[in-house]
Structure formats: structure tokens, C-alpha cells
Amino acid sequence: MSLAVLGAGFGPALHRSAATGVLTLLRPQAQWKIHASVDDALRFLLGDGHADREAITARCEQEIAAHAERKSRASAQHAPSR
């Protein structure tokens, strides 16, 4: 199993550490690996030589960007006006 916590810097690193800590405490039966990018997670899950990995990575990143854009627009609509 893989969990991708995207981003660089202190915030995402803290979230990756927290996820690792929770998984350590819960000791799930399935082995989990925490990743910093979608590409890293897919390399782990599919292998480096998988023919469609690059296309799947690109599609995932497009969906993530579209979701972030929708979330940003929704936040802007609900922001109090000055």
C-alpha cells in the first residue's frame, strides 16, 4: 500500500512524519510506504519499467491540479467580502 503526501517543505514533511507515526502505532497487516510524489508511489506500486506509469502519473497529476483549482474557487466564493 502507498500513501502520497504531496509537496516539499516543512508542512508536507510533517504530514508524512505524522502518517508514518500513526501507521507505526496501528501496525496494519498490510505494509505501507509513504511517498512525497505520485510518481514515487506509482514506481513503488507498479515498478519502474511499467509501460503506462508515465501516462498514469500525468493523469493523476492533472486530476490533483483540477481538484486544487476547484477547491481554490470554492474557497474564494465563500470568503467574506471586505
Question: Tens digits of per-residue pLDDT, 7-64?
Answer: 889 999 999 999 999 999 999 898 899 999 999 999 999 988 899 999 999 999 999 9
Indicate left, alpha or beta for 19 from its phi (over 0: left) and psi (-120 to 50: alpha).
alpha
Domain ranges of the chain: 2-78
Are 44 and 12 a contacting pair, CB within 8 Å? no
Give the Cα separation of 8 and 18 in Å (integer): 15
Length of the chain: 82
pTM for this predicted structure: 0.71
